Structure 1
Amino acid sequence: MRYYEDPGPGYGALPPRAAVRSDAPRLSLNGTWRFHLAESVAEAPAGFEREDFDDSGWDTIPVPSSWPMHGFGRPAYTNQPYPFPLDPPYVPDENPTGDHRLGFELPESWSGASAVLRFDGVDSCARVYLNGVELGVTRGSRVPAEFDVSEQLRPGRNVLAVRVHQWSSGSYLEDQDMWWLPGIFRDVTLVARPPAGVPDVFVHADYDHRTGTGTLLVESVPGATVRIPELSVSTVAGQPVPIPGVEPWSAESPRLYDVVVATEAESVTLRTGFRTVAIKGGVLTVNGRRVLFHGVNRHEHDPVLGRAIPEHRLRQELLVMKQHNINAIRTSHYPPDSRMLALCDELGFWVMDECDYETHGFFLLGWRGNPAGDPQFEAASLDRMRRLVERDKNHPSVIIWSLGNEAGTGRNLDVMAAWTKQRDPSRPVHYEGDLTSASVDMYSRMYASHAEVEAIGRRAEEPLNDAELDARRRAMPFVLCEYSHAGGNGPGGLPEYEELFHLYPRCQGGFVWEWMEHGISRPGGGYAYGGEFGEELHDGTYVLDGLVFPDLTPQPVLAEVHKAFEPVHLSVDSEARELRVVNRYDFVDTSHLALQWELADDGRVVTRGLLALPVVASGAEATVDLPKEALDLPGLYSERWLTVRATLAADTPWAQAGHEVAFGQGQLSTGRPPVASTRAPTSSSSGSLALGPGRFDRHTGRLVGLYEWPVSHVPLELWRAPTQHDARTWDATTLDRRTRWADAGLHRLRYRTLSVEKSGDELTVVTKVGAAAIDAGVVTTYRWSLVDDRLTAEVEVEPVGTWTVPWARVGLTLGLPAGFRDLTWFGLGPGPAYPDSRAAGRVGRFTATIDDLQVPYLYPQENGARGDVRWAELSGPAGQLRVAGDPVLALTVRRWTITDLAAADHPEDLVPGDRIWLTLDALQHGLGSPTSGAPILPPHDLQPRSHRFRFSLG
């Protein structure tokens, strides 16, 4: 058997140990290496490991790197399918093989030193040589491997040679939903290892919330000294020490202490936090309190570098998360760069640390031949879990170990769970793939519907056949390891999930799928997704499923996440003249926050100020009197709104003072006076009917002119450019919305005018709308009139025949001159709002350019709608046009048609034309998250029905 097909974990590597900071010498071997890529193992150069091998004709490559990101080979994306035949543990002969060579100088000070060579990540199998001597083979792409090089290392010049195979037996355990990107993608380091040094450290720092006492126990070499200088603690390894009065660590208050473990030969330093994780009464607790995960699933991805993530980007990712009220991370689906966990310790996150383990492609075979149940993969399976736990065991942010993801069931997972519990009983073990939860400590699901989550919260979920297992699982805490799939425009329904988490203690939140879009930067600009690199199999845009774009720019849904995850809930009660403040933090009070308020009349801020915020303990609530000056302020207005914002009172490591943590709004007055047009009506022209400023086609009744502008009028829209959620469904027996809408012809409606009748200052137009080959239709009646010199339409929509599909929208589109540039509106903003994704919107007056209203999703789709618009004003060189709803409408403005948007594959495919297209929606279908199975909530499922709405132009 070829070594890269051996199902074992490899050979030659030292036992795994924790990542620590040591005062022993280190030499980074990152930098420019010589590189040669062969399309198969047979074509790889023989003797490449020899010291005298001539590599002068080779290319160069940076290390760390993913070689397809540097022009060698090509990226490939699959979600489920393996990109090679399933014949474990064997892989094809066409196995791209990258040979890496580095010559480096060893300082004289290292002469005779014991040392190890550390690889923090190599995808997927590496055979390592130093000075022509084989050190061993490592598999397990995202866990470190260390080789003893004490005998091979020498002063002066050394030659390191590493042969990396893209495919190996390990690839069968690494079928995660992401790009396949081989290479040495994490640090390579030479580490001195003093014979009498500190070989490993395991810090146990427990906290008794009843007494405020911490207990420190350090496992290490016997006789090693242990110190926490800040606490004046000095002891020896193996000796538990009680420490009264320590400050506990939590994700909300990440208090860290430096621990020094030393022998005469070496001193290592690591940062620890005192905290205790336990499951009590079926609820997961930290330091005695229930915690609620407002989490995300995070892959490691850089749009330029692939899986080689710069440290500054790691920090930036976490800062953006913290600034949007995200407090938890599932490291989907492998251990991250260890520097990220150190940042999680520092900034404060709950972490579910997941093993590099997924065999999802066997699902397509009914799990036939699944390596998770194959004895020949047992050693490799356990090795991956061991290397994860040993590396990350000292991080206080890691409170849950996860066996992996979507690997079905099998004996190897049971072995991994049993070893983990024995090695570290202080943390619970998670795995979602076995719905019995027989070997783990938590019940986990992905993409469960709101209704199912509610049943689980009541501990009334569908029972298991085994009564004992059912009772055990029913007593467990519950998490959604994945929910609310965030592909493109969506998901919807986040606040409704959040309500369930707060209602049922067992439901402890979850992890949104997922954090980042995995687009790959293209040389000419923009981002590529699956299928754009000639992949034989691929899953297309499914890799675009994040809350942030690849450059970490937030997508609109991140504002919705920020609102849904607010740790403080603010509600304005105008009748009681008070503000209700509910502290939803798990641990901290509100002393770090300030309250700012502002009063707006018809969206214009007229006054603002500060409110005194009482100190509200976690889990408690209080009321605050609303500002008298706001309630009693006189003025002429139609809608008066009070907005209260909870902001940081002082700078923090993750945001500056003034950063908004939460907001609440309350309407203090209602009613809107009519707005008279300031424009003079235009006269009719031959061939058209005139009504005030409007001109209508005599035969079709469509609006063809408004003031001096020509108009294109689409009298009824039932379709939208499909979102990524519209285009997929979890259930193979159910057609996705895009297909159903296409089958019903919603994108190819035809219009037949039934009547055009003008009587005085009223024009009534009746149109029958339908699609070819379909007998279901809609009768649309427009009643145009003049109200205060404004052209006003009352529109009645009546479905006829038998409709078998929901509608995407009920609205109309007007094509106007391209000379309009800006939009000012009074309604929800500043970002988009859809029926089931609008919690982040606040009522106000906003202005943006038409171009800035567009959301540049990497795969173009419906986007940018502003909801609950009372009125909007288009302006620019073309002039000024006011549009008003009665009472409200949703509004989108684009420089391309809906059809153009639906046909585009990338944002750059959308080319502005000679018009802008204004779509007014009375009703919209929700966004939902059907991509991964959660059905859309019924209020947002737009079933065909009669409806009336009004709007005016002028």
Structure 2
Amino acid sequence: MNEAWYESFAPPPTARPPRAWLDSDAPRLPLDGHWRFRYAERADGPLDFTRPAFDDAGWDRLPVPAHWQLHGYGAPAYTNIAYPFPLDAPRVPDENPTGDYRHTFRLPEGWPGGPALLRFAGADSAALVWLNGVELGRAGGSRLTTEFDVTDALRPDGDNLIAVRVVQWSAGSYVEDQDMWWLSGIFRGVDLLARPEGGIGDVEVSAGYDHLTGAGTLAVAADVPARVRVPELGVDAAAGETLRLPAVEPWSAESPRLYDATVSTGAETVTLRIGFRTVRIDGGVLTVNGRPVLFRGVNRHEFHPDRGRAVTEEDMLDDVRLMKQHNINAVRTSHYPPHPRFLELCDEYGLYVVDECDLETHGFWQVGWRGNPADDPRWEAALVDRMRRTVERDKNHPSVVLWSLGNESGSGRNLAAMARWARHRDPSRPLLYERDWTCRDVDVYSRMYLPVAEVEAIGRGEEAPLPDPALDARRRGMPFIHVEYAHAMGNGPGGLAEYQRLYETYPRLQGGFVWEWIDHGLRARTPDGREYFAYGGDFGEVLHDGNFVADGLLFPDRTPSPGLLDLKKVFEPVRIAPSGDGGLTIHNGHIHSGVSKLDFRWVLEDGGEAVARGALEVGDVPPGESVRVDLPALPATAGEAHLTVRAVLAADEPWAKAGHEVAATQLPVSTTPPLAAAAPRPAGAVPLPATVPPAGGATRAGVPTATSAAVRRDGGRVRLGPGLLDERTGRLVRLGDWAVDGPRLQVWRAPTDNDRAPHGEALEPLWRAAGLDRLTHRLDGVSVTGDGAVVRVRVAPASSDGGLLTTYTWRILAGDRLGLVVEIDPDGRLPGPLPMLGVRFALPGELDQVEWFGRGPGEAYPDTGLATRVGRWFRTVADLQTPYLFPQENGRRADVRWATVTGGRGGGVRVDGRTPFGLTVRPWTAEALDRAAHPTDLAPDGRTWLTLDAGHNGIGSASCGPGVLPPYLLAPAPTHLELTLQAL
């Protein structure tokens, strides 16, 4: 076999042994910038470009770090599982996109003579490197650091030339099948490092914490004799000594206390930030500093919509701050070690990290795991090398509390070898790997996307047994971590609260990591310049997995999605709830810290308008404990009143400003006279001016009707007070001065990613097979009554005998209003659940502003919208649309009492409900939304589409996980919706 250099199983033979990523005062020359670049479709081109004298004047320039596909060379491609090349490990096709790089540099003045290293932090997928025409060796492991000794090749005077050949496909590609864009190139930084004689090659920090005594244990080892100094602790000792420190402050995600330290020789000083913490499994529970940890986590790929995985420090800092702001305390580095700076930020800001090895072989699942590298002995050295490079680089970070062997690589002997190496090298951290459910090689039981019922069974210790009694007993003694759950693809995920309830109930269930942090949409533009985010298939890929790459809690530009807002609510570390005796219970769910950093503020709203506000005196609450506080005395209210209590930061934190909301609850407040009489203004309460409610106030349908003289027929039209009904269609065509068209029964919704469920239980094909996307409407009659009209319609799909009998009963009400009662009855067999049940009106497009009293400000469905609160809200119609990368059902507001749709020139339409209803307002129909593949496919059609629903199916997480839970399914059943309409 004619094996190319990039088809080798073996670890890079000339690379330096892996070591910690260190902050040293030895000279470092960053080599990032614009390098000369040449692209080819094959990897066997001539190597003459490696000679310093080669003329590269005709080459292009490419940024380093960067991916060449994002600069016009080749094209991005996305697959989730399938390899985009034949499975014939370690061979790859001749059609192997290749980038040749050249970069010339000079050593800065004062650069010391002696040893030097050339460091590549990441190159996808394999690189062959030369310096001044001398071949240094190859780099493999795309997201792993590789260093070469360049002492003999480096020229102290004059130009130095780095030449690099990077290939897209290599043997390493078979173990890097990680559900992301296939993107190539030198995508992390390149540095030249001076290594002074007597300098420090490697440092290992062991810093433990005894939670019983408050003492710390510190051992800092170096590969050469050195001094360790921690001025704040009075430490000045020889490296290698084990010191017992009588009192230290521990590191945790809640209180990320770090001590500055140095390790020095006469030639070099390395700066460290040390966090004292101990990770143990005690009694089947994972503890940090002696207390059980609950992971409120997310899975994070490195991504930017313009740069791919070539992320900047600002990108990383944005991620960390956003995680902290949304009550996230843990991150799994799916599915590879992140940029080292990210871990430094996790140390500094406080995030627990599951650090994952650069390993996934998921595509072998499609061939029954035949030839899987995880069980092929030829791959053992390469996979152990990947684990070794992960651990050695990241071993000094207190934020790293678990090592992960990799992801979705089946099971096999090489995973066992990786585990043996890691356990021997670093016994201070437990091991995790999800795909081998026997857990024979790890310390934590982990699964993906389990239904709520199965998670609860695990919490109770009642999961299905393993065939091997010894393995079964061992696994039952392990803590459980739901390493991926709640797939955040498109609208959703639903059901977050049900999972969190279990995690907070059963000690064995120690939380989990939502999939995933950010949508991987690449910024693109239509031919006419409109921006959108591209997904799989948008670049002409023959094999791709569509928009499955867009499954994050952030949109690609790092705007939080409604799902992230819900997750923040579910992850609240402080719970505020009624105490049952007229007060409030404040429960501190923190593991290590009290609530002294929080202020508790309240506001009373009457009909959505604030009428009083103040502060609660809570005091500190120890971690894991609760305290009862009295409700504030409240002034009288006239309408529907709510008390909102918020826990906010009392002072600035590195990740958020004072006043940032950490937790909140909203309680309905009784407005009966006894409460008003017993509610003198409390000390500190701030009275706010009363507001005048809009026309109609809180009036509901059912008030006295107007005279029957307001009902009259006129040439096929029926005049109903302010409305005009078309007898031919049975629909209202005018309300006051406004042209309208409706109501029309609305059952269909543009399927969500969870409805489509590419890896779960899909509802969309069932709905389409039942014809719910192509319903026909038959008018069965219009009856004019003394004070209104009754319209009967049968709505049904072709080829089916099932349908929905819909009766619209109109009544003229006092105040120039119309009452509408909608009764929907299943007729024959309809498959359940239904997408939704409601009515739709077409209004003039100039009505583009919406105000409502109900839950908001964001969208909400039966199992989402946990972050919404009842209030009085205003948005434009454009603002009500949630821009999911793949257009789908979105923008519904829940539990709406009344809403107005108005225009810039004044006036509009008001709707009140006898009971709360769902509200959706769009500049296009659900059908147009269904047809669109990108938001740029949608354009306002000149009308405003007002949908009022009595019920909506839940969202669930079936895009890759469980579907909608039973309480949130919309069964075909008799449905009643009672509304009042008024022209403004």
The normalised TM-score by structure 2 is 0.94
Note the 1:317-466 alignment, pairs <5 A. Answer: 317-466=319-468
Asked if residue 699 in structure 1 is aligned to residue 704 in structure 2, the reply is no
Question: How far has the Cα of 1:222 moved from its partner?
Answer: 4.5
Structure 1: gaps spanning 5 or more residues: none
Letter in 2 for 1:800: D
Per mean C-alpha deviation after superposition, the further-off stretch among 384-393 and 262-271 is 262-271
In the superposition, relative to structure 1, how do residues 244 and 678 fare at CA in structure 2: closer, same or farther (>3 Å)?
Answer: farther
1:675 deviates by 5.5
d(CA) in 2 for partners of 1:318, 1:605: 34
Residue type matched to 1:550 in 2?
P
The residue number in structure 1 matching 2:655 is: 654
Question: Is the Cα–Cα contact under 8 Å of residues 682 and 693 in structure 1 kept in the other structure?
Answer: no
CA 1:99–1:679 in structure 2 vs 1: closer, same or farther (change >3 Å)? farther
AA aligned to 2:807 is T
CA distance in 2, matches of 1:211, 1:393: 25
Q: Is the contact made by 1:744 and 1:805 (CA closer than 8 Å) also made in structure 2? A: no
1:889 is aligned to 917
Matched residue SS, 1:725: helix
Structure 2 SS opposite 1:522:
strand
Structure 1 residue matching 2:756: 3-state secondary structure? coil
2:942 to 897, 914, 923: 914
| Alpha-carbon distance in structure 2 between the residues aligned to 1:729 and 1:785 | 46
- 1:817 aligned partner, one-letter code: P
The aligned residue for residue 827 of structure 1 is: 854
Q: Which residue matches 2:632?
A: 627
Aligned residue type for 1:674: T
Q: CA deviation at 1:111?
A: 5.1
Query: What is the rounded CA distance, in whole Å, between the counterparts of 1:941 and 1:118 in structure 2?
Result: 55
Q: Give SS of 2:454's match.
A: helix
**Kept after mapping to 1: 8 A contact 2:716/2:728:** no
Q: Is the 8 A contact 2:705 2:811 kept in 1?
A: no
2:543 is matched with which residue: 529, 537, 543? 537
Show CA shifts across 1:264-283 (max 9, x none).
Answer: 11110111100000001111
Deviation at 1:11, TM superposition (A): 2.2
Match of 2:13 among 11, 14, 23: 11
Correspondence for 1:742: 768
Aligned residues of 1:513 and 1:546 also touching (Cα < 8 A): yes
Aligned residue type for 1:357: L
Q: Deviations over 1:590-612 (max 9, x none)?
A: 10000111001111111111111
Q: Structure 2: which amino acid aligns with 1:107?
A: P
Find the counterpart in structure 2 of residue 129 from structure 1. 130
CA distance in 2: counterparts of 1:953 and 1:432, whole angstroms: 55
Give secondary structure in 1 for the equivalent of 2:353. strand
One-letter amino acid matched to 1:567: P
- Whole-Å Cα distance in 2 between the matches of residues 651 and 750 of structure 1? 58
Query: C-alpha offsets along residues 662-681 of structure 1, whole Å, 9 cap, x if unaligned?
Result: 00111112699526999998
Structure 2, unaligned runs of 5 or more: 673-696
Query: Deviation of residue 138 (structure 1)?
Result: 1.1
The 2-side partners of 1:451 and 1:273 are apart by 38
**Residue 138 of structure 2 aligns to which amino acid in structure 1?**
V
Do the aligned residues in 2 keep the contact of 1:701 with 1:753 (CA within 8 Å)?
A: yes
Q: Does 1:617 align with 2:602?
A: no
Aligned length: 945
Q: CA deviation at 1:755?
A: 2.4
Shift of 1:72: 1.1
Give the letter aligned to residue 765 of structure 1.
V
Distance 1:875 1:231, change over 3 A: same
Is the Cα contact below 8 Å between 1:817 and 1:878 reproduced in 2?
no
Map of 1:61-72 to 2, 5 A cutoff? Answer: 61-72=62-73
Distance across 2 between alignment mates of 1:246 and 1:417: 32
Query: 2: CA distance between counterparts of 1:336 and 1:617?
Result: 34
Instruction: Tell me how far 1:683 sits from its aligned partner.
Output: 7.6
The reply to whether residue 602 of structure 1 matches residue 610 of structure 2 is no
With over 3 angstroms needed to count, the CA separation of the structure-2 counterparts of 1:803 and 1:644, relative to structure 1, is same
Aligned match for 1:810, one of 818, 837, 856: 837
Give the deviation of 1:245 after TM superposition. 1.4
Please report the TM-score for the alignment, with normalisation by the length of structure 1: 0.97
Separation in structure 1 between the aligned mates of residue 743 and residue 49 of structure 2, nearest angstrom: 68
What does residue 858 of structure 1 align with?
Answer: 885
Tell me the secondary structure at the aligned position of residue 705 of structure 1.
Answer: strand
Equivalent residue letter for 2:62: I
Distance 1:109 1:645 in 2: 57
Which stretch shifts more, 810-819 or 698-707? 698-707
- Secondary structure at the aligned position of 2:323 is classed as helix
SS in 2 for 1:711: strand
Correspondent of 2:798 among 750, 772, 778: 772
Q: Matched residues in 2 for 1:377 and 1:673: separation?
A: 71
**What's the offset of the Cα at 1:572?**
3.6
Displacement of 1:880: 2.4
Task: Give, in angstroms, the shift of residue 682 of structure 1.
Answer: 9.8
Name the residue aligned to 2:300. Answer: 298
Corresponding residue for 2:875? Answer: 848
Distance 1:452 1:93 in 2: 47
> 1:80 matched to which residue of 2?
81
Alpha carbons of structure 1 residues 147 and 698: separation in structure 2 relative to 1, 3 Å: same
Which of the numbers 229, 233, 236 marks the counterpart of 1:234? 236
Identify the range of structure 1 (583-592 vs 720-729) with the bigger mean alpha-carbon deviation. 720-729
Query: How big is each residue's C-alpha offset from its partner over 1:240-297, in whole Å with a ceiling of 9 and x where there is no partner?
Result: 0011110000000000011211111111011110000000111100000011111100
The corresponding residue for 2:826 is 799
> What is aligned with 1:721?
750
Contact 1:675 1:788 (C-alpha < 8 Å) held by counterparts? no
Kindly indicate whether the alpha-carbon contact (under 8 Å) linking 2:487 and 2:961 is maintained by their aligned counterparts in 1.
no
Q: What SS does the aligned partner of 1:345 have?
A: helix
Q: CA deviation at 1:83?
A: 0.5
2:807 match: 781
Residues 712 and 718, structure 2, Cα contact 8 Å, conserved in 1: no
Name the CA distance, whole Å, in 1 between partners of 2:559 and 2:268. Answer: 43
1:674 corresponds in structure 2 to: 699
Q: How far apart in 2 are the matches of 1:275 and 1:684?
A: 82
Q: Assess if the C-alpha contact under 8 Å between 1:595 and 1:610 holds in 2.
A: yes
Contact 2:704–2:814 under 8 Å retained in 1? no
Q: 1:868 aligns to what?
A: 895
Displacement, 1:419? Answer: 0.5
Q: How many Å apart are 1:649 and its aligned residue?
A: 0.4
- Mapped partners of 1:290, 1:484: distance in 2: 23
In structure 1, what is the equivalent of residue 584 of structure 2?
579
CA distance in 1, matches of 2:900, 2:793: 28
C-alpha separation in 1, matches of 2:28 and 2:210:
38
Q: 1:45 to 1:599 in 2, by over 3 A?
A: same
Aligned partners of 2:814 and 2:797: how far apart in 1? Answer: 37
Deviation at 1:685, TM superposition (A): 4.8
The alignment-based identity, stated in percent, is 55
Q: What displacement does 1:223 show? A: 2.5
Q: Distance in 2 between matches of 1:394 and 1:336?
A: 14
How far apart are residue 85 of structure 1 and its match? 0.5
Letter in 2 for 1:519: G
Per-residue CA distance 1:512-559 (angstroms, 9 max, x = gap)? 000001010114321111101111100001011111111111111111
CA contact (8 A) 2:738 2:908 kept: no
Alignment partner, residue 903 of structure 1:
931
C-alpha change, 1:638 and 1:258, in structure 2 (3 Å) is: same
Aligned partners of 2:84 and 2:543 also within 8 Å? yes
SS of the counterpart of 1:10?
A: coil
- SS, match of residue 159 in structure 2: strand
Q: How does 1:907-946 map to 2 (within 5 A)?
A: 907-946=935-974
1:909 Cα deviation after fit: 1.5
Counterpart AA for 2:746: E
Identify if the C-alpha distance between structure 1 residues 673 and 878 changes in structure 2 by more than 3 Å, giving closer, same or farther: closer
Paired residues for 1:24-423 under 5 Å: 24-42=26-44, 44-110=45-111, 112-155=113-156, 156-423=158-425
Measured on the aligned residues, the alpha-carbon RMSD in Å equals 1.6
Q: Residue 731 of structure 2 aligns to which amino acid in structure 1? A: R
* 1:21 aligned partner, one-letter code: D
Aligned equivalents of 1:2, 1:151: Cα separation in 2: 26
Post-superposition offset of 1:448: 0.5
CA distance in structure 1 between the partners assigned to 2:63 and 2:373 by the alignment: 34
What is the one-letter code of the residue matched to 1:17? R
Deviations 1:608-664 (A, max 9, x none): 111112211110001111111x2xx124x2211100000000000000100000001
